Structure 1
Amino acid sequence: MPVNSLGDLRAGRLAGARQLKLACGLTEFPSEILELADTLEVLDLSGNRLTSLPPELSRLRHLRILFCSGNPFTVLPEVLGECPRLEMVGFKSSRLHTVPPAALPPQLRWLILTDNAIDALPASIGRCSGLQKLMLAGNRLSTLPDEMAACAGLELLRIAANRLTVLPPWLFDLPRLAWLAYAGNPFCASVEMPRLGGDAAIRIPFADLSLGERLGEGASGVIHRAAWRGDGERRQVAVKLFKGSMTSDGLPSHEMAACLEAGSHASLIPVLGRLEGAGQVGEGLVMALIDQAFESLAGPPSLASCTRDIYPDGAAFTVDAVLRIATGIAAAAAHLHGRGILHGDLYAHNILHAGEGRALLGDFGAASFFAPEDERTASALQRIEVRAFACLLDELVARCEVPSPTSLKLQALASLQRRCADPQPSSRPLFAEVEAELARIAALPSRFS
């Protein structure tokens, strides 16, 4: 969204605007914004110096999305709860320590409170029955209110880097929860600590690398092409340099640990080693450089889609390609679960694919560790991720080039998808069973005779 001019707003040149973004060091809410009450739907005031919002904000009766990240608020404004259509609220890195019960709009779908100092959530969050996405990483929460058990629509939950002493039992019963990140809390410290050092990882001196072009950037770091002079040979690799700050998913140090602990698998991007001696450049990983034929399976969710990925127009897959993608990702997830790692972000936008269904799962920014020997908790966590797989399978099947009702494979895939999406989490299969079922489906004839 382009940045607008405060001068244009005050001169009336933005009359009728549906979106408004102001980033000009504001210390007070410009009253002229209220003149857009008949049209304004999206308001972005991030990166200013606001500490409060006026009671008149509720006059913006069409306002659906409000971003105020990076402002020095200490209390989430109660007027938010009076905005009749407000469904997405973002106050990341805003020094918040208090969330009043009245501040949460009942129609809320997406709440971003990452990187603040919040030590408690109000019980009123349980009234947000349509809440789908809740971002709470990097706060001071020691508990979550039991009333959140009523948030039956919750699909994505980020609670990493808090002070939680236990995962609440009701969390495992949420019918739609699919993407969970909880690393960096006291309750999982005993599982994490042995893995965070990465002592067994190969160390690659920064001096042996020549950084090249930037290949991409995510929430936790920047990826460069690089030339590695190792063992007398020169090879092209990819280097991820971590930013070292809190992300929407959690701490980059936990992402690095998960990448190193993931081990080798045909459907994971190979990690070659940990960067050493990088100095001010910071921490990093050296990874295999992926063939340029690979591209992202989809784009990340939009403001409108909330939790579902955005595929290119006309994206289509053969049944066999869908089977190969699904089989590769299910096998990768089963491999990770066997090593006590929950990926936490099993999404199409974190999958690279190339021709005929070859697929690689990447981005461990939301990964969390668990103890496989704690079978009850381990299986419950794994079944949450199985629902994420169900969402992926649903998207792929919907874009299948052979929508014929006589396709045995397509019918079987749809049946498996429904099982993986079962609203009763304990009824979902684990990934070992999913793998076996995918193998059975692959052996079916394409159509009824």
Structure 2
Amino acid sequence: MEECICWVETDLSKNKLSELPTDLCGYLSLQNLSCYSNFIRAIPDEIVNLNNLTYLNLSRNQLSTLPVHICNLFLEVLIVSNNKLVSLPPEIGRMKTLMHLDASCNVLSTLPVDVGGLESLRELYVRRNQLVTVPEEISNLNLVKLDLSCNKITILPPSYRRIETLEELNVSQNPLENPPAQESILCEI
């Protein structure tokens, strides 16, 4: 009889991995997976087998796209900062359990409007990208922290005033034409 490996947490960070090992996707009890600071360019489709995975850190790798199959996981935390991401898949809106999304330090030029469907999302970090606009749908979320700093955003949607749960909003180092205070966003925080 084959012995079952019941790892709950695995850290493969700071190695020289060019891809996420497919064998790892067989550890069905895995809840936390850290693979930051590698050279990962691809995520195997088999990652969908990790039904218990709630924390995934893929920061500081070489990802240019976020595979759609990641959106089928029940993640609570997804960290994909410091990659080469040019976009996030629209399917990201299916991640109903996601509470923390960090896609900072990439080359994102837009965010999908489907981000507004992340009903559990409390923290959204997209600093240091190439964002010119941000979706109005973000105002439907119960965000506590929103970091849009160091982008190319000129106007914040006035609907952002309705984010009553927001405690921290960072829009520094953007070429804002209408300062958030003028829109009464900062005054209500």
Q: For residues 286-317 of structure 1, give each alpha carbon's deviation from its aligned partner in whole angstroms, at most 9, with x where no partner exists.
A: xxxxxxxxxxxxxxxxxxxxxxxxxxxxxxxx
- Rounded Cα–Cα distance in structure 1 between residues aligned with 2:85 and 2:4: 31
Matched to 2:126, the amino acid is: L
Unaligned runs of 5+ in 1: 1-11, 191-369, 385-449
1:62-141 paired onto structure 2 within 5 Å: 62-83=52-73, 85-104=74-93, 105-141=95-131
CA RMSD of aligned residues (A): 2.1
Specify the SS of the correspondent of 1:25. Answer: coil
Report the Cα distance in structure 2 between the residues aligned to 1:177 and 1:93, rounded to whole angstroms: 25
1:54 is matched with which residue? 44
Confirm whether residue 35 of structure 1 aligns to residue 26 of structure 2: yes
- 1:147 aligned onto 2:141: no
Alignment check: 8 A CA contact 1:75 1:97 kept: yes
SS class of match (1:171): helix
User: How far apart, CA to CA, are the structure 2 residues paired with 1:165 and 1:42?
Assistant: 37
Count, aligned residues:
186
Q: What's the secondary structure of 2:137's corresponding residue?
A: helix
TM normalised by structure 2 equals 0.91
Equivalent residue number for residue 176 of structure 1: 165
Q: More strand by proportion, 1 or 2?
A: 1
**Matched residue SS, 1:116:** coil
Give unmatched runs, 5+ long, in structure 2.
none
> For the Cα contact (< 8 Å) 1:76–1:103, is it kept in 2?
no
Instruction: Using the TM superposition, give the Cα deviation of residue 14 of structure 1 relative to its aligned residue in structure 2, in angstroms.
Output: 9.5
SS at 2:64 equivalent: coil
Decide whether the 8 Å contact of 1:53 with 1:79 is kept in 2.
Answer: no
The answer to whether the 8 A contact 2:92-2:114 is kept is: no
Deviation at 1:144, TM superposition (A): 0.8
Specify whether residues 146 and 118 from structure 1 end up closer, same or farther in structure 2 by C-alpha distance, changes over 3 A only.
same
TM-superposed deviation, 1:177: 0.7
Secondary structure of 2:173's partner? Answer: coil
* Aligned equivalents of 1:13, 1:177: Cα separation in 2: 48
Instruction: Name the CA distance, whole Å, in 1 between partners of 2:121 and 2:20.
Output: 27
Contact 1:81 1:106 in 2 (8 A): no
Q: Give, in whole Å, the separation in 2 of the partners of 1:14 and 1:48.
A: 27
Shift of 1:171: 0.9
Q: Which residue of 2 aligns with 1:362?
A: none
CA distance in 1, matches of 2:65, 2:49: 21
Residue 126 of structure 1 aligns to a residue whose secondary structure is helix
User: Cα 1:60–1:383, aligned 2, differ >3 Å: closer, same or farther?
Assistant: same
TM-score, normalised on structure 1?
0.40
Partner of 2:146 in structure 1? 157
User: Identity of paired residues, percent?
Assistant: 26
Q: Which runs of 4+ in 1 moved over 6 A?
A: none
30 and 186 in structure 1: CA distance in 2 versus 1, 3 angstrom threshold: same
Determine which structure has greater relative contact order: mean sequence separation of CA pairs < 8 Å that are 6+ residues apart, divided by chain length: 2
Conserved 8 A contact 2:96-2:118: yes
